[in-house]
């Protein structure tokens, strides 16, 4: 009897075509799910008959309560090599091996700039007007050259975003609690003395921090109030770093020029969610990691993880 493998959140239904699953085809039956499960009960019911689960990034939590309801599960594969929503101790207690895959920082860097440029030049507004018979030129673009780009986080993604900003001729500054002068000098940017200094001085602010206890809610109503009314905020990192209600209020009241958001507290967004209709908001459905090359890596290495597990020598173990 073949093992059964569930692939979660395969919204585009490409998991089985973007990578070669033939090396495990004789031993593993792969079933992909394009729908999002509403709660833990629905997820537990759907996954009850599977031995292997492949999950994307940190989209689906695997707490101990869920793992306890999946006695057949033996291998859990998460894309990326860091996952904060898997209970590793519970996985070990229930005999579940957890493995990861590599992940490229290129797609989120590119999407960050797509959002930032889209906001600065009113791309969606102007394109829609042109297609729908609206006014010919209704916006005045915000310049990048000579303006200040403030980065919250200067890690792998933030560092690459910084270098693009420098290529545009922007002044780039960065801040995080752990940022050193040495790292800022390495990238060629200025280290802000504080979060407040970065927010008050920047024309564009982009979030590139990992979500944790110290970053959850880092940018709230007080912090948003520090931004210039002409400033733009971009978040392709994690939704919980920016207070969603405070951001909606700032957008509706015109306190900032606009925001580009790729991450949300609830995903997929419900049909009537206020983020779908907020003014001054350029929003995308969590596309930061969604690229052909990244998917090929995720699912190609998931196949490798399954092969290694079946051979009794798991690779890229997490936890």
Long-range contacts of 216-224 (CB under 8 A, 24+ apart): 216/240, 216/241, 217/241, 217/243, 218/152, 218/242, 219/152, 219/243, 219/246, 219/247, 220/246, 221/246, 221/249, 221/250, 223/195, 223/196, 223/199, 224/250, 224/255, 224/256
CB crowding 225-253: b at 16 or more within 10 Å, else e: ebbbeebbbbbbbbbbbbbbebbbebbee
Q: How far is CA 152 from the centre of its chain?
A: 15
**pLDDT tens per residue across span 169-195:** 999 999 999 999 999 999 999 999 999
Whether 57 has a pLDDT exceeding 90, the answer reads no
Say if residue 20's pLDDT is above 90: yes
Residues 292-301: pLDDT tens digits? 999 999 999 9
| Burial call 48-82: b when 16+ CB within 10 Å, e when fewer | eebbbbbbbbbbbebeeebbebbeebbbbbbbbee
* Confidence class for position 128, pLDDT limits 50, 70, 90: very high
Say how far apart CA 63 and CA 40 lie, in whole Å. Answer: 10
Would you say residue 59 has pLDDT above 90? no
* Active-site residue flag, 45: no
Q: Are strands 258-261 and 281-283 parallel, antiparallel or unpaired?
A: parallel
| Mean of pLDDT values over 243-259 | 98
| Choice among 238, 255, 301, 304 that is catalytic | 238
The one catalytic residue in 177, 222, 267, 292 is 267
Say whether 286 is catalytic: yes
* pLDDT tens digits for range 197-211: 999 999 999 999 999
From the CB of residue 141, how many other CB atoms can be counted at a distance below 10 Å? 12
Percent pLDDT > 90 in the chain is: 96
- Yes or no: say if 147 and 170 are a contact pair by the CB < 8 Å rule: yes
Above 90 in pLDDT, residue 139? yes
Q: Which helix (H) or strand (E) holds 124?
A: helix 123-132
Q: How confident is the model at residue 1 (pLDDT cuts 50, 70, 90)?
A: confident
What token pair was written down for 130? 């042109």
Active site residue 252: no
3-state secondary structure of 205: strand
- Cα(126)–Cα(130) distance, integer angstroms: 6
> Considering the chain, what is the average pLDDT of its residues?
97
Q: Which of 160, 286, 301, 304 is catalytic?
A: 286
């Amino acid at each position: 009897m073949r093992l059964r493998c569930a692939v979660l959140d395969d919204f585009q239904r490409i998991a089985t075509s973007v990578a070669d699953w033939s090396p495990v085809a004789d031993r593993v039956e792969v079933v992909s799910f394009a729908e999002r499960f509403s709660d833990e009960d629905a997820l537990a019911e759907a996954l009850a008959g599977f031995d292997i689960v492949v999950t994307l990034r940190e989209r689906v939590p695997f707490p101990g309560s869920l793992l306890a309801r999946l006695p057949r599960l033996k291998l859990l594969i998460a894309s990326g090599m860091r996952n904060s929503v898997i209970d590793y101790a519970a996985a070990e207690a229930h005999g579940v091996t957890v493995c990861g895959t590599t992940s490229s920082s290129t797609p989120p860097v590119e999407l960050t700039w797509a959002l930032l440029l889209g906001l600065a030049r009113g791309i969606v507004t102007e394109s829609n007007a042109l297609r729908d018979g609206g006014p010919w030129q209704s916006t005045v673009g915000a310049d990048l050259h000579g303006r200040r780009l403030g980065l919250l986080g200067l890690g792998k993604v933030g560092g690459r975003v910084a270098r693009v900003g420098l290529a545009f001729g922007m002044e780039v500054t960065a801040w995080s609690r752990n940022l050193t002068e040495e790292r800022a000098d390495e990238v060629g940017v200025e280290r802000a003395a504080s979060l407040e200094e970065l927010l008050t001085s920047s024309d564009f602010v982009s979030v590139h921090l990992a979500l944790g206890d110290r970053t959850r809610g880092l940018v709230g109503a007080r912090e948003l109030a520090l931004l210039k009314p002409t400033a733009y905020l971009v978040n392709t990192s994690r939704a919980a770093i920016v207070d969603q209600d405070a951001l909606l209020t700032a957008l509706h009241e015109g306190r900032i020029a606009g925001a580009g958001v790729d991450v949300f507290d609830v995903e997929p967004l419900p049909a009537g969610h206020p983020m779908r209709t907020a003014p001054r908001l350029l929003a995308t459905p969590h596309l930061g990691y969604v690229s052909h090359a990244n998917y090929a890596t995720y699912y190609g290495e998931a196949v490798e993880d399954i092969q290694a597990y079946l051979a009794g020598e798991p690779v890229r173990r997490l936890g």
